[in-house]
Amino acid sequence: MANLFIKQAKQYAQGRPSYPPHLFQFIASKTPQHDLAWDVGTGSGQAARSLAEIYNNVIATDTSPKQLEFATKLPNIRYQQTSPTMSSAELEQKVGAESSVDLVTIAQAMHWFDLPVFYKQVKWVLKKPHGIIAAWCYTTPEVNDSMDQVLERFYKNSYWDSPRQMVDDKYKTIDFPFEAVDGEDSSGPFEFENERWMGLEDYFTYLRSWSAYQKAKEKGVELLSEHVVEEFKRAWGEDENGGQKLVKFPIYLRIGKVGA
């Protein structure tokens, strides 16, 4: 994962959506204490910013120093670059001691992880038995029928890595060995939605932040060719609201507690 988003780190920071407040409110309602949250694969800190409004302290880690350069700095967020596979010593030094963390979050990143290794770390740092892990992904944005049809064709390219299939499956198929949180019958996925006003150039910036776009570009292929851009422009339609459209990002959350 370390090199996936380095070259388009600026586009990632500018183009990627934030997450709705009710997502974090739901997660926080399942966490008995709000002392310390660990945001893994934080990227440019989209989730960390919202966590910092609820939790006293947030440790936000990523393997990419370039991504962390674009992260919003707040007094109760500590950003840490980590190696792709942390040792027990690095985990304790950069995140915390055993049973010290109230919440572990992973936003749009867990499908890239070595899950058995990662889950072992999560179970070590979370407070027993009520520490919470919350992992979510979002699928392709929804604008209108015309745009969504063009995006569907654009999305079906051969440059996605295989872990992306777990996102396409809305995290239903991802291994998630944690207990259902209090008040819920399962660990999800629970559905949320984020809405964001975007202009067409904002939309293109988001598309350019995709790992598949960067992978294609490295192979000399421009997925956003002139023809494709024209297709999107026609589908975007008239310049109502100053060219801005309300774009919806469906979000799918898996949440569980560590147990004894």
Contact 18, 202 (CB under 8 A): no
Nearest to 256 by CA among 154, 87, 110, 142: 110
> Residue 237: what pLDDT?
85
Contacts of 149 (CB under 8 A, 6+ apart): 235
> Residue 9: what pLDDT?
46
Can you read off the two tokens belonging to residue 154?
Answer: 């654009």
> Residue 85: what pLDDT?
87
| Residue span of the structural domain in which 233 resides | 1-257
> Residue 83: what pLDDT?
92
Burial of residue 114, with CB atoms counted within 10 A of its CB: 0-12 exposed, 13-18 middle, 19 or more buried: exposed
pTM for the full predicted model: 0.90
Can you read off the two tokens belonging to residue 70?
Answer: 């674009």
242-to-46, 148, 172, 232 alpha-carbon distances in Å: 26, 20, 38, 17
Q: Burial code of 127-164, b = ≥16 C-beta within 10 A, e = fewer? A: beebbbbbbbbbeebbbeeebeebbeebbeeebbeeeb
> Residue 84: what pLDDT?
87
Q: DSSP label at 127?
A: P
Nearest to 19 by CA among 81, 108, 79: 108
> Residue 2: what pLDDT?
43
Instruction: Quickly count: other Cβ atoms within 10 Å of residue 167's Cβ.
Output: 18
End-to-end CA distance of the chain: 31
Per-residue pLDDT tens digits of the chain, which is 260 residues long: 444 444 454 544 454 577 999 999 999 999 999 999 999 999 989 999 999 999 999 999 999 898 899 888 999 999 999 998 899 999 999 999 999 999 999 999 999 899 999 999 999 999 999 999 999 999 999 999 999 999 999 999 999 999 999 999 999 999 999 999 999 999 999 999 999 999 999 999 999 989 899 999 999 999 999 999 999 999 998 666 668 999 999 999 999 999 98
Q: What's the domain count of the chain?
A: 1
Edge-to-edge strand list for the sheet holding 103-107: 77-81, 57-62, 36-40, 103-107, 132-138, 245-257, 190-198
Query: How far apart are the C-alpha atoms of 250 and 258, rounded to whole Å?
Result: 26
> Residue 6: what pLDDT?
46
Nearest to 169 by CA among 144, 189, 150: 189
CATH number at residue 133: 3.40.50.150
> Residue 70: what pLDDT?
87
Q: DSSP label at 252?
A: E
> Residue 5: what pLDDT?
47
Q: DSSP label at 101?
A: B
Contact 101, 125 (CB under 8 A): yes
> Residue 245: what pLDDT?
93
